[in-house]
Amino acid sequence: MLLLVLMKEERFFYVPNATDVDRLPQEEAAHATRVLRLKEGDSIFLIDGEGGIHQAVVTIATNKQCQYKITNTTTLPQSENRIHIAIAPTKMMERMEWMAEKATEIGIDEISFLEGQFSERRKMRVDRIEKTVVSAMKQSRKAWMPAINDMIPVKQFIDTPREGRKFICHCHEEIPRTSLQQKLEEVQSSMFNVQCSTANGQSFTVLIGPEGDFSIEEVEYALKHGYESVSLGDFRLRTETAALVALMTIRLKVKG
Amino acid sequence: MLLLVLMKEERFFYVPNATDVDRLPQEEAAHATRVLRLKEGDSIFLIDGEGGIHQAVVTIATNKQCQYKITNTTTLPQSENRIHIAIAPTKMMERMEWMAEKATEIGIDEISFLEGQFSERRKMRVDRIEKTVVSAMKQSRKAWMPAINDMIPVKQFIDTPREGRKFICHCHEEIPRTSLQQKLEEVQSSMFNVQCSTANGQSFTVLIGPEGDFSIEEVEYALKHGYESVSLGDFRLRTETAALVALMTIRLKVKG
Protein backbone atom coordinates (compact mmCIF):
# COMPACT_ATOMS: atom_id res chain seq x y z
CA MET A 1 0.00 0.00 0.00
CA LEU A 2 3.02 2.29 0.30
CA LEU A 3 2.85 3.02 -3.41
CA LEU A 4 -0.76 4.09 -3.00
CA VAL A 5 0.26 6.61 -0.41
CA LEU A 6 2.99 7.99 -2.59
CA MET A 7 0.81 8.35 -5.67
CA LYS A 8 -0.55 11.82 -6.24
CA GLU A 9 -4.23 12.28 -5.61
CA GLU A 10 -4.72 13.49 -9.17
CA ARG A 11 -3.76 10.11 -10.54
CA PHE A 12 -6.74 8.43 -8.85
CA PHE A 13 -9.87 7.92 -10.90
CA TYR A 14 -13.27 6.66 -9.89
CA VAL A 15 -14.34 3.94 -12.29
CA PRO A 16 -17.34 1.82 -11.26
CA ASN A 17 -16.92 -1.70 -12.67
CA ALA A 18 -13.31 -0.90 -13.52
CA THR A 19 -12.51 -4.48 -14.45
CA ASP A 20 -15.44 -4.74 -16.89
CA VAL A 21 -14.55 -1.69 -18.94
CA ASP A 22 -11.27 -0.62 -20.52
CA ARG A 23 -11.50 3.17 -20.45
CA LEU A 24 -12.13 6.04 -18.05
CA PRO A 25 -15.62 7.56 -17.92
CA GLN A 26 -15.93 10.69 -20.09
CA GLU A 27 -15.36 13.32 -17.41
CA GLU A 28 -12.44 11.47 -15.82
CA ALA A 29 -10.93 10.91 -19.29
CA ALA A 30 -11.10 14.62 -20.09
CA HIS A 31 -9.36 15.41 -16.83
CA ALA A 32 -6.72 12.72 -17.40
CA THR A 33 -5.78 13.68 -20.94
CA ARG A 34 -6.47 17.43 -21.12
CA VAL A 35 -5.65 18.63 -17.62
CA LEU A 36 -3.07 16.10 -16.42
CA ARG A 37 -1.86 15.42 -19.98
CA LEU A 38 -1.38 11.72 -19.28
CA LYS A 39 0.20 9.73 -22.10
CA GLU A 40 0.49 6.09 -23.09
CA GLY A 41 2.52 4.20 -20.51
CA ASP A 42 1.63 6.47 -17.57
CA SER A 43 0.56 4.81 -14.30
CA ILE A 44 -2.89 5.50 -12.87
CA PHE A 45 -5.04 4.12 -10.09
CA LEU A 46 -8.68 3.20 -10.43
CA ILE A 47 -11.06 3.06 -7.48
CA ASP A 48 -14.16 1.05 -8.28
CA GLY A 49 -16.10 1.98 -5.14
CA GLU A 50 -16.74 -1.65 -4.28
CA GLY A 51 -13.50 -2.52 -2.55
CA GLY A 52 -11.15 -2.64 -5.51
CA ILE A 53 -8.16 -0.39 -6.05
CA HIS A 54 -6.56 -1.18 -9.37
CA GLN A 55 -3.17 -0.14 -10.63
CA ALA A 56 -3.30 0.42 -14.38
CA VAL A 57 -1.30 1.68 -17.32
CA VAL A 58 -2.66 4.10 -19.90
CA THR A 59 -2.78 2.34 -23.28
CA ILE A 60 -4.49 4.97 -25.44
CA ALA A 61 -4.78 8.66 -24.59
CA THR A 62 -6.54 11.02 -26.99
CA ASN A 63 -8.43 14.26 -26.47
CA LYS A 64 -11.63 12.31 -25.97
CA GLN A 65 -10.70 9.07 -24.33
CA CYS A 66 -8.28 7.36 -22.03
CA GLN A 67 -8.01 3.59 -22.25
CA TYR A 68 -6.14 1.54 -19.69
CA LYS A 69 -4.94 -1.94 -18.85
CA ILE A 70 -5.13 -3.11 -15.24
CA THR A 71 -1.82 -4.53 -14.01
CA ASN A 72 -2.57 -5.16 -10.36
CA THR A 73 -5.62 -5.23 -8.07
CA THR A 74 -5.89 -4.78 -4.32
CA THR A 75 -9.21 -5.60 -2.69
CA LEU A 76 -10.01 -3.94 0.61
CA PRO A 77 -12.67 -5.32 2.97
CA GLN A 78 -15.74 -3.26 3.85
CA SER A 79 -15.77 -1.88 7.41
CA GLU A 80 -17.25 -4.43 9.78
CA ASN A 81 -19.69 -2.00 11.31
CA ARG A 82 -22.11 -0.24 9.02
CA ILE A 83 -23.02 3.36 9.78
CA HIS A 84 -25.94 5.04 8.07
CA ILE A 85 -26.66 8.73 8.73
CA ALA A 86 -30.04 10.10 7.65
CA ILE A 87 -30.10 13.88 7.79
CA ALA A 88 -32.55 16.66 7.02
CA PRO A 89 -30.43 18.92 4.80
CA THR A 90 -29.54 22.45 5.83
CA LYS A 91 -30.65 25.54 3.94
CA MET A 92 -27.08 26.08 2.78
CA MET A 93 -26.13 23.35 0.38
CA GLU A 94 -22.41 23.80 1.02
CA ARG A 95 -22.86 22.69 4.63
CA MET A 96 -24.20 19.36 3.34
CA GLU A 97 -21.34 19.02 0.87
CA TRP A 98 -18.91 19.70 3.67
CA MET A 99 -20.60 17.09 5.86
CA ALA A 100 -20.48 14.51 3.07
CA GLU A 101 -16.78 15.21 2.46
CA LYS A 102 -15.85 14.85 6.13
CA ALA A 103 -18.08 11.82 6.69
CA THR A 104 -16.40 10.08 3.76
CA GLU A 105 -12.94 10.84 5.16
CA ILE A 106 -13.87 9.56 8.61
CA GLY A 107 -15.68 6.55 7.18
CA ILE A 108 -19.41 6.26 6.49
CA ASP A 109 -21.36 3.60 4.65
CA GLU A 110 -24.61 5.29 3.74
CA ILE A 111 -26.07 8.81 3.72
CA SER A 112 -29.79 9.50 3.30
CA PHE A 113 -31.59 12.83 3.14
CA LEU A 114 -34.82 13.45 5.00
CA GLU A 115 -37.67 15.85 4.48
CA GLY A 116 -39.00 16.71 7.90
CA GLN A 117 -41.94 18.78 9.06
CA PHE A 118 -39.66 21.73 9.86
CA SER A 119 -37.23 21.25 6.98
CA GLU A 120 -35.94 24.42 5.38
CA ARG A 121 -34.74 22.59 2.29
CA ARG A 122 -37.19 20.41 0.44
CA LYS A 123 -35.20 19.73 -2.70
CA MET A 124 -31.80 18.18 -2.82
CA ARG A 125 -29.20 17.91 -5.57
CA VAL A 126 -27.95 14.46 -4.65
CA ASP A 127 -25.64 14.49 -7.68
CA ARG A 128 -23.65 17.32 -6.08
CA ILE A 129 -23.23 15.27 -2.92
CA GLU A 130 -22.10 12.28 -4.98
CA LYS A 131 -19.47 14.43 -6.68
CA THR A 132 -18.17 15.60 -3.31
CA VAL A 133 -18.09 12.04 -2.01
CA VAL A 134 -16.21 10.74 -5.05
CA SER A 135 -13.63 13.47 -4.66
CA ALA A 136 -13.24 12.78 -0.92
CA MET A 137 -13.04 9.05 -1.62
CA LYS A 138 -10.12 9.60 -4.00
CA GLN A 139 -8.44 12.03 -1.66
CA SER A 140 -8.69 9.70 1.33
CA ARG A 141 -8.01 6.53 -0.68
CA LYS A 142 -11.25 4.83 0.26
CA ALA A 143 -12.04 1.70 -1.72
CA TRP A 144 -15.74 1.72 -0.86
CA MET A 145 -18.17 4.34 -2.16
CA PRO A 146 -20.77 5.29 0.47
CA ALA A 147 -24.33 4.85 -0.75
CA ILE A 148 -26.07 8.23 -1.23
CA ASN A 149 -29.85 8.15 -1.25
CA ASP A 150 -32.46 10.58 -2.55
CA MET A 151 -34.49 12.67 -0.12
CA ILE A 152 -37.61 11.04 1.29
CA PRO A 153 -40.08 12.10 4.02
CA VAL A 154 -39.00 11.27 7.59
CA LYS A 155 -41.88 8.88 8.18
CA GLN A 156 -41.20 6.96 5.00
CA PHE A 157 -37.60 6.50 6.12
CA ILE A 158 -38.73 5.28 9.52
CA ASP A 159 -41.24 2.88 7.97
CA THR A 160 -38.48 1.11 6.07
CA PRO A 161 -37.18 -1.84 8.11
CA ARG A 162 -33.48 -1.54 9.06
CA GLU A 163 -31.14 -3.86 10.89
CA GLY A 164 -29.16 -3.01 14.01
CA ARG A 165 -29.45 -0.12 16.44
CA LYS A 166 -31.38 2.95 15.43
CA PHE A 167 -31.08 6.37 17.04
CA ILE A 168 -32.91 9.65 16.67
CA CYS A 169 -31.02 12.79 17.80
CA HIS A 170 -33.20 15.69 18.89
CA CYS A 171 -33.33 18.63 21.31
CA HIS A 172 -36.81 18.27 22.84
CA GLU A 173 -36.26 18.44 26.58
CA GLU A 174 -39.72 17.02 27.30
CA ILE A 175 -38.79 13.70 25.70
CA PRO A 176 -36.23 11.74 27.77
CA ARG A 177 -32.89 11.40 26.01
CA THR A 178 -29.64 9.62 26.81
CA SER A 179 -26.37 10.69 25.26
CA LEU A 180 -25.39 8.58 22.28
CA GLN A 181 -22.03 8.01 23.91
CA GLN A 182 -23.67 6.61 27.04
CA LYS A 183 -25.99 4.40 24.98
CA LEU A 184 -22.98 2.85 23.28
CA GLU A 185 -21.11 2.50 26.56
CA GLU A 186 -24.04 0.66 28.15
CA VAL A 187 -23.60 -2.21 25.74
CA GLN A 188 -19.88 -2.15 26.30
CA SER A 189 -20.24 -2.11 30.04
CA SER A 190 -22.76 -4.93 30.05
CA MET A 191 -20.25 -6.97 28.08
CA PHE A 192 -17.57 -6.33 30.73
CA ASN A 193 -15.34 -5.22 27.94
CA VAL A 194 -12.75 -2.86 29.35
CA GLN A 195 -11.34 -2.06 25.94
CA CYS A 196 -14.32 0.15 25.29
CA SER A 197 -15.50 -1.72 22.26
CA THR A 198 -18.79 -3.34 21.44
CA ALA A 199 -19.08 -6.36 19.20
CA ASN A 200 -18.14 -6.08 15.56
CA GLY A 201 -20.43 -6.46 12.61
CA GLN A 202 -23.14 -4.17 13.88
CA SER A 203 -25.32 -1.74 11.99
CA PHE A 204 -26.18 1.75 13.17
CA THR A 205 -28.72 4.19 11.80
CA VAL A 206 -28.76 7.75 13.11
CA LEU A 207 -31.41 10.36 12.30
CA ILE A 208 -30.36 14.02 12.39
CA GLY A 209 -33.06 16.68 12.20
CA PRO A 210 -33.22 19.98 10.31
CA GLU A 211 -32.17 23.39 11.71
CA GLY A 212 -35.62 23.62 13.32
CA ASP A 213 -35.30 20.08 14.75
CA PHE A 214 -37.66 17.16 14.26
CA SER A 215 -41.24 17.77 15.39
CA ILE A 216 -42.34 16.04 18.58
CA GLU A 217 -44.68 13.96 16.45
CA GLU A 218 -41.78 12.79 14.28
CA VAL A 219 -39.69 11.87 17.32
CA GLU A 220 -42.57 9.92 18.84
CA TYR A 221 -43.16 8.15 15.55
CA ALA A 222 -39.51 7.08 15.49
CA LEU A 223 -39.61 5.88 19.10
CA LYS A 224 -42.64 3.73 18.32
CA HIS A 225 -40.67 2.16 15.50
CA GLY A 226 -37.66 1.02 17.51
CA TYR A 227 -35.50 4.15 17.46
CA GLU A 228 -33.72 5.18 20.67
CA SER A 229 -33.96 8.79 21.82
CA VAL A 230 -30.49 10.33 22.08
CA SER A 231 -28.68 13.61 22.52
CA LEU A 232 -25.14 14.38 21.41
CA GLY A 233 -23.96 15.65 24.76
CA ASP A 234 -24.10 19.15 26.11
CA PHE A 235 -22.96 20.62 22.85
CA ARG A 236 -25.40 22.76 20.93
CA LEU A 237 -24.48 21.75 17.43
CA ARG A 238 -25.37 22.77 13.92
CA THR A 239 -27.12 20.10 11.85
CA GLU A 240 -24.04 19.20 9.82
CA THR A 241 -21.79 19.15 12.89
CA ALA A 242 -24.27 16.88 14.68
CA ALA A 243 -23.97 14.35 11.85
CA LEU A 244 -20.19 14.34 12.17
CA VAL A 245 -20.22 14.12 15.96
CA ALA A 246 -22.64 11.16 15.82
CA LEU A 247 -20.45 9.43 13.24
CA MET A 248 -17.25 10.02 15.22
CA THR A 249 -18.91 8.85 18.42
CA ILE A 250 -19.87 5.53 16.87
CA ARG A 251 -16.50 5.12 15.14
CA LEU A 252 -14.66 5.75 18.42
CA LYS A 253 -16.93 3.74 20.67
CA VAL A 254 -17.39 0.72 18.44
CA LYS A 255 -14.35 -0.99 17.02
CA GLY A 256 -14.28 -2.35 13.48
CA MET B 1 -31.22 28.36 30.81
CA LEU B 2 -34.40 27.52 28.95
CA LEU B 3 -34.82 31.13 27.98
CA LEU B 4 -31.36 31.10 26.46
CA VAL B 5 -32.31 28.23 24.24
CA LEU B 6 -35.48 29.95 23.12
CA MET B 7 -33.80 33.24 22.30
CA LYS B 8 -32.97 33.77 18.68
CA GLU B 9 -29.34 33.60 17.77
CA GLU B 10 -29.46 37.10 16.31
CA ARG B 11 -30.18 38.56 19.73
CA PHE B 12 -26.82 37.38 21.08
CA PHE B 13 -23.95 39.84 21.07
CA TYR B 14 -20.33 39.37 21.91
CA VAL B 15 -19.27 42.07 24.35
CA PRO B 16 -15.92 41.57 26.09
CA ASN B 17 -16.09 43.14 29.57
CA ALA B 18 -19.85 43.45 29.21
CA THR B 19 -20.31 44.51 32.82
CA ASP B 20 -17.73 47.32 32.57
CA VAL B 21 -19.28 49.04 29.58
CA ASP B 22 -22.85 50.09 28.85
CA ARG B 23 -23.07 49.82 25.09
CA LEU B 24 -22.48 47.33 22.27
CA PRO B 25 -19.21 47.55 20.30
CA GLN B 26 -19.60 49.53 17.07
CA GLU B 27 -20.10 46.62 14.67
CA GLU B 28 -22.54 44.80 16.96
CA ALA B 29 -24.43 48.07 17.54
CA ALA B 30 -24.84 48.65 13.81
CA HIS B 31 -26.19 45.13 13.41
CA ALA B 32 -28.54 45.53 16.39
CA THR B 33 -30.06 48.84 15.39
CA ARG B 34 -29.88 48.85 11.59
CA VAL B 35 -30.36 45.21 10.68
CA LEU B 36 -32.41 43.87 13.57
CA ARG B 37 -34.01 47.28 14.24
CA LEU B 38 -33.92 46.76 17.99
CA LYS B 39 -35.61 49.48 20.06
CA GLU B 40 -35.59 50.68 23.64
CA GLY B 41 -37.00 47.97 25.89
CA ASP B 42 -35.99 45.03 23.68
CA SER B 43 -34.29 42.05 25.33
CA ILE B 44 -30.79 41.05 24.28
CA PHE B 45 -28.11 38.66 25.51
CA LEU B 46 -24.48 39.53 25.93
CA ILE B 47 -21.73 36.92 25.88
CA ASP B 48 -18.53 38.24 27.41
CA GLY B 49 -16.32 35.32 26.39
CA GLU B 50 -15.13 34.80 29.95
CA GLY B 51 -17.97 32.71 31.30
CA GLY B 52 -20.66 35.36 31.61
CA ILE B 53 -23.96 35.37 29.75
CA HIS B 54 -25.88 38.52 30.58
CA GLN B 55 -29.50 39.24 29.95
CA ALA B 56 -29.96 42.92 29.19
CA VAL B 57 -32.48 45.48 28.06
CA VAL B 58 -31.80 48.06 25.35
CA THR B 59 -31.92 51.53 26.90
CA ILE B 60 -30.88 53.72 23.97
CA ALA B 61 -30.94 52.68 20.32
CA THR B 62 -29.83 55.11 17.63
CA ASN B 63 -28.28 54.63 14.21
CA LYS B 64 -24.85 54.69 15.73
CA GLN B 65 -25.11 53.16 19.14
CA CYS B 66 -26.98 50.69 21.27
CA GLN B 67 -26.81 51.11 25.03
CA TYR B 68 -28.02 48.47 27.44
CA LYS B 69 -28.65 47.73 31.07
CA ILE B 70 -27.84 44.26 32.39
CA THR B 71 -30.74 42.69 34.30
CA ASN B 72 -29.44 39.22 34.99
CA THR B 73 -26.12 37.38 34.79
CA THR B 74 -25.40 33.66 34.48
CA THR B 75 -21.82 32.53 34.92
CA LEU B 76 -20.80 29.25 33.34
CA PRO B 77 -17.70 27.34 34.46
CA GLN B 78 -14.85 26.71 32.06
CA SER B 79 -14.52 23.11 30.87
CA GLU B 80 -12.44 21.11 33.32
CA ASN B 81 -10.13 19.74 30.68
CA ARG B 82 -8.26 22.19 28.49
CA ILE B 83 -7.72 21.33 24.86
CA HIS B 84 -5.29 23.27 22.72
CA ILE B 85 -4.93 22.48 19.02
CA ALA B 86 -1.93 23.88 17.16
CA ILE B 87 -2.30 23.51 13.42
CA ALA B 88 -0.34 24.41 10.32
CA PRO B 89 -3.00 26.18 8.25
CA THR B 90 -4.17 24.83 4.91
CA LYS B 91 -3.70 26.63 1.61
CA MET B 92 -7.44 27.30 1.47
CA MET B 93 -8.36 29.73 4.20
CA GLU B 94 -11.98 28.62 4.27
CA ARG B 95 -10.93 25.19 5.49
CA MET B 96 -9.38 26.83 8.53
CA GLU B 97 -12.48 28.95 9.14
CA TRP B 98 -14.58 25.83 8.91
CA MET B 99 -12.30 24.03 11.37
CA ALA B 100 -12.47 26.95 13.82
CA GLU B 101 -16.28 27.04 13.59
CA LYS B 102 -16.67 23.33 14.23
CA ALA B 103 -14.02 23.24 16.97
CA THR B 104 -15.85 26.04 18.76
CA GLU B 105 -19.16 24.19 18.54
CA ILE B 106 -17.63 20.96 19.84
CA GLY B 107 -15.67 22.78 22.52
CA ILE B 108 -12.07 23.96 22.28
CA ASP B 109 -10.05 26.20 24.57
CA GLU B 110 -7.19 27.39 22.43
CA ILE B 111 -6.18 27.37 18.77
CA SER B 112 -2.67 28.19 17.58
CA PHE B 113 -1.32 28.37 14.05
CA LEU B 114 2.01 26.88 13.10
CA GLU B 115 4.45 27.61 10.34
CA GLY B 116 6.10 24.31 9.46
CA GLN B 117 8.90 23.42 7.10
CA PHE B 118 6.41 22.15 4.51
CA SER B 119 3.68 24.72 5.15
CA GLU B 120 1.83 25.94 2.10
CA ARG B 121 0.45 28.97 3.92
CA ARG B 122 2.91 31.27 5.68
CA LYS B 123 0.60 34.17 6.45
CA MET B 124 -2.57 33.95 8.43
CA ARG B 125 -5.47 36.38 8.89
CA VAL B 126 -6.14 35.53 12.52
CA ASP B 127 -8.84 38.25 12.64
CA ARG B 128 -10.92 36.23 10.17
CA ILE B 129 -10.64 33.17 12.41
CA GLU B 130 -11.66 35.27 15.41
CA LYS B 131 -14.74 36.48 13.56
CA THR B 132 -15.71 32.91 12.74
CA VAL B 133 -15.18 31.84 16.32
CA VAL B 134 -17.28 34.70 17.73
CA SER B 135 -20.10 33.81 15.39
CA ALA B 136 -19.90 30.10 16.29
CA MET B 137 -19.75 31.01 19.97
CA LYS B 138 -22.99 32.96 19.70
CA GLN B 139 -24.62 30.27 17.63
CA SER B 140 -23.70 27.50 20.03
CA ARG B 141 -24.24 29.59 23.18
CA LYS B 142 -20.70 29.20 24.47
CA ALA B 143 -19.80 31.45 27.37
CA TRP B 144 -16.05 31.07 26.90
CA MET B 145 -14.18 32.50 23.95
CA PRO B 146 -11.40 30.16 22.79
CA ALA B 147 -8.00 31.84 22.68
CA ILE B 148 -6.76 32.30 19.11
CA ASN B 149 -3.04 32.81 18.68
CA ASP B 150 -0.94 34.25 15.88
CA MET B 151 1.10 31.98 13.67
CA ILE B 152 4.58 31.06 14.94
CA PRO B 153 7.23 28.59 13.72
CA VAL B 154 6.74 24.98 14.84
CA LYS B 155 9.94 24.91 16.87
CA GLN B 156 9.09 28.11 18.70
CA PHE B 157 5.75 26.57 19.67
CA ILE B 158 7.46 23.41 20.90
CA ASP B 159 10.02 25.42 22.87
CA THR B 160 7.27 27.08 24.91
CA PRO B 161 6.62 25.07 28.10
CA ARG B 162 3.08 23.65 28.31
CA GLU B 163 1.28 21.69 30.99
CA GLY B 164 -0.36 18.31 30.56
CA ARG B 165 -0.08 15.76 27.80
CA LYS B 166 1.30 16.78 24.45
CA PHE B 167 0.80 14.94 21.18
CA ILE B 168 2.14 15.33 17.67
CA CYS B 169 0.05 13.78 14.87
CA HIS B 170 1.97 12.79 11.75
CA CYS B 171 2.07 10.22 8.96
CA HIS B 172 5.73 9.16 8.94
CA GLU B 173 5.64 5.38 9.00
CA GLU B 174 9.32 5.18 9.99
CA ILE B 175 8.61 6.87 13.34
CA PRO B 176 6.61 4.61 15.71
CA ARG B 177 3.13 5.97 16.40
CA THR B 178 0.26 4.89 18.62
CA SER B 179 -3.30 5.93 17.88
CA LEU B 180 -4.40 8.92 19.97
CA GLN B 181 -7.43 6.90 21.04
CA GLN B 182 -5.23 4.10 22.37
CA LYS B 183 -2.95 6.58 24.16
CA LEU B 184 -5.94 7.98 26.01
CA GLU B 185 -7.32 4.51 26.75
CA GLU B 186 -4.00 3.42 28.25
CA VAL B 187 -4.38 5.92 31.03
CA GLN B 188 -7.96 4.95 31.48
CA SER B 189 -7.17 1.27 31.56
CA SER B 190 -4.33 1.75 34.05
CA MET B 191 -6.80 3.54 36.28
CA PHE B 192 -9.18 0.52 36.13
CA ASN B 193 -11.86 2.92 35.15
CA VAL B 194 -14.51 1.05 33.22
CA GLN B 195 -16.42 4.21 32.41
CA CYS B 196 -13.80 5.08 29.85
CA SER B 197 -12.85 8.36 31.39
CA THR B 198 -9.54 9.70 32.55
CA ALA B 199 -9.21 12.12 35.40
CA ASN B 200 -10.63 15.60 35.07
CA GLY B 201 -8.71 18.82 35.06
CA GLN B 202 -6.14 17.76 32.49
CA SER B 203 -4.56 19.76 29.71
CA PHE B 204 -3.98 18.47 26.21
CA THR B 205 -1.95 19.99 23.39
CA VAL B 206 -2.17 18.47 19.92
CA LEU B 207 0.01 19.43 16.96
CA ILE B 208 -1.47 18.97 13.47
CA GLY B 209 0.85 19.34 10.47
CA PRO B 210 0.32 21.00 7.09
CA GLU B 211 -0.93 19.27 3.93
CA GLY B 212 2.65 18.10 3.31
CA ASP B 213 2.96 16.88 6.93
CA PHE B 214 5.60 17.83 9.51
CA SER B 215 9.18 17.14 8.48
CA ILE B 216 10.87 14.21 10.21
CA GLU B 217 13.15 16.74 11.87
CA GLU B 218 10.15 18.61 13.31
CA VAL B 219 8.62 15.38 14.62
CA GLU B 220 11.88 14.36 16.25
CA TYR B 221 12.27 17.80 17.79
CA ALA B 222 8.79 17.48 19.31
CA LEU B 223 9.51 13.99 20.65
CA LYS B 224 12.65 15.29 22.34
CA HIS B 225 10.52 17.94 24.03
CA GLY B 226 7.97 15.64 25.64
CA TYR B 227 5.47 15.23 22.81
CA GLU B 228 4.00 11.76 22.19
CA SER B 229 3.95 10.43 18.63
CA VAL B 230 0.38 9.63 17.57
CA SER B 231 -1.75 8.75 14.57
CA LEU B 232 -5.46 9.37 14.21
CA GLY B 233 -6.33 5.80 13.27
CA ASP B 234 -6.44 4.27 9.83
CA PHE B 235 -8.18 7.27 8.36
CA ARG B 236 -6.32 9.34 5.83
CA LEU B 237 -7.55 12.77 6.80
CA ARG B 238 -7.26 16.28 5.50
CA THR B 239 -5.49 18.71 7.83
CA GLU B 240 -8.68 20.40 9.03
CA THR B 241 -10.46 17.07 9.51
CA ALA B 242 -7.51 15.77 11.51
CA ALA B 243 -7.86 18.69 13.94
CA LEU B 244 -11.53 17.90 14.47
CA VAL B 245 -10.99 14.18 14.85
CA ALA B 246 -8.26 14.81 17.45
CA LEU B 247 -10.54 17.21 19.33
CA MET B 248 -13.51 14.82 19.26
CA THR B 249 -11.31 11.92 20.34
CA ILE B 250 -10.16 13.78 23.44
CA ARG B 251 -13.65 15.11 24.21
CA LEU B 252 -15.11 11.61 23.96
CA LYS B 253 -12.36 9.76 25.76
CA VAL B 254 -11.82 12.22 28.57
CA LYS B 255 -14.77 13.35 30.61
CA GLY B 256 -15.13 16.91 31.78
- Indicate left, alpha or beta for B41 from its phi (over 0: left) and psi (-120 to 50: alpha): left
Residues of A in contact with B252 (CB under 8 A): 181, 248-249, 252-253
Provide mean pLDDT across the span A166-190. 89
User: In which band, very low, low, confident or very high, does the pLDDT at B242 lie, cut at 50, 70 and 90?
Assistant: very high
* C-beta atoms surrounding A233 within 10 Å: 17
Do the Cβ atoms of A105 and B236 come within 8 Å? Answer: yes
Cα of B196 to nearest chain A Cα, Å: 7
Kindly report the average pLDDT of chain A as a whole number.
90
Q: What is the pLDDT of residues A149-161, one digit of tens each?
A: 999 999 999 999 9
Kindly report the average pLDDT of chain B as a whole number.
90
Residue B159 near residue B65, CB atoms below 8 Å: no
Phi, psi of A134 (to 5 degrees): -60, -45
Provide mean pLDDT across the span B146-166. 97
Do the Cβ atoms of A140 and B185 come within 8 Å? Answer: no
Do the Cβ atoms of A235 and B102 come within 8 Å? Answer: no
User: In which band, very low, low, confident or very high, does the pLDDT at B193 lie, cut at 50, 70 and 90?
Assistant: very low
Provide mean pLDDT across the span A139-151. 94
Cα of A97 to nearest chain B Cα, Å: 13
Do the Cβ atoms of A106 and B140 come within 8 Å? Answer: no
Closest residue in chain B to residue A182, using alpha carbons only: B195
Distance of alpha carbon A217 from alpha carbon B38, whole angstroms: 35
Q: Which of B96, B241, B253 is the best mutation test for A, with the most CBs of A within 10 A?
A: B241
Distance of alpha carbon B145 from alpha carbon B111, whole angstroms: 11
Which pLDDT score is estimated for A200?
63
Residues of B near A (Cβ–Cβ under 8 Å) read 2, 5, 98, 102, 105-107, 139-141, 173, 181, 185, 188-189, 194-196, 235-238, 241, 244-245, 248-249, 252-253
Q: What is the pLDDT of residues B115-135, one digit of tens each?
A: 999 998 889 999 999 999 999
The answer on pLDDT for A106 being more than 90 is yes
Percent of chain A's residues with pLDDT above 90: 80
Residues of A near B (Cβ–Cβ under 8 Å) read 2, 5, 98, 102, 105-107, 139-141, 171, 173, 181, 185, 188-189, 194-196, 235-238, 241, 244-245, 248-249, 252-253
Do the Cβ atoms of A195 and B181 come within 8 Å? Answer: no
- Single pTM value for the model: 0.89
Residues of A in contact with B188 (CB under 8 A): 196
Which pLDDT score is estimated for B185?
86
Which of B181, B194, B237 lies closest to A194 in CB terms?
A: B194
Which pLDDT score is estimated for B7?
56
Do the Cβ atoms of B241 and A181 come within 8 Å? Answer: no
Residue B175 near residue B219, CB atoms below 8 Å: yes
User: If DSSP codes are grouped into helix, strand and coil, which group holds residue B1?
Assistant: coil
Contact pairs from chain A to chain B, CB under 8 Å: 71
Q: What is the pLDDT of residues B24-61, one digit of tens each?
A: 999 899 999 999 999 999 999 999 999 999 999 999 99
Distance of alpha carbon A146 from alpha carbon A110, whole angstroms: 5
Sign of CA dihedral A22, A25, A29, A31: negative
Distance of alpha carbon B110 from alpha carbon B104, whole angstroms: 10
Q: Which of A177, A187, A166 is nearest to A230 (CA)?
A: A177
Do the Cβ atoms of B140 and A248 come within 8 Å? Answer: no
Do the Cβ atoms of A241 and B189 come within 8 Å? Answer: no
Closest residue in chain A to residue B232, using alpha carbons only: A106
Strand-strand pairing, A203-208 and A82-87: parallel
Cα of A93 to nearest chain B Cα, Å: 15
Do the Cβ atoms of A235 and B196 come within 8 Å? Answer: no
Provide mean pLDDT across the span A114-141. 93
- SS3 percent helix, strand, coil of chain B, rounded to 5, is 35, 25, 40
User: In which band, very low, low, confident or very high, does the pLDDT at B71 lie, cut at 50, 70 and 90?
Assistant: very high
Residue A228 near residue B157, CB atoms below 8 Å: no
Which pLDDT score is estimated for A85?
98
Residues of B in contact with A173 (CB under 8 A): 2
CA of B230: how far to CAs of A98, B102, B141, in Å?
26, 22, 32
Q: Which of B29, B28, B61 is nearest to B42 (CA)?
A: B61
The answer on pLDDT for B192 being more than 90 is no
Which of B105, B188, B237 lies closest to A241 in CB terms?
A: B105
Residues of B in contact with A194 (CB under 8 A): 189, 194
Distance of alpha carbon B72 from alpha carbon B21, whole angstroms: 15
Which pLDDT score is estimated for B24?
95
Distance of alpha carbon A208 from alpha carbon A108, whole angstroms: 15
Cα of B20 to nearest chain A Cα, Å: 28
Phi, psi of A26 (to 5 degrees): -50, -50
Residues in chain B: 256
Residues of A in contact with B107 (CB under 8 A): 235
Distance of alpha carbon B120 from alpha carbon A100, whole angstroms: 25
Which of B139, B140, B237 lies closest to A105 in CB terms?
A: B237
Closest residue in chain B to residue A237, using alpha carbons only: B105
Do the Cβ atoms of A244 and B249 come within 8 Å? Answer: no
End-to-end CA distance of chain A: 20
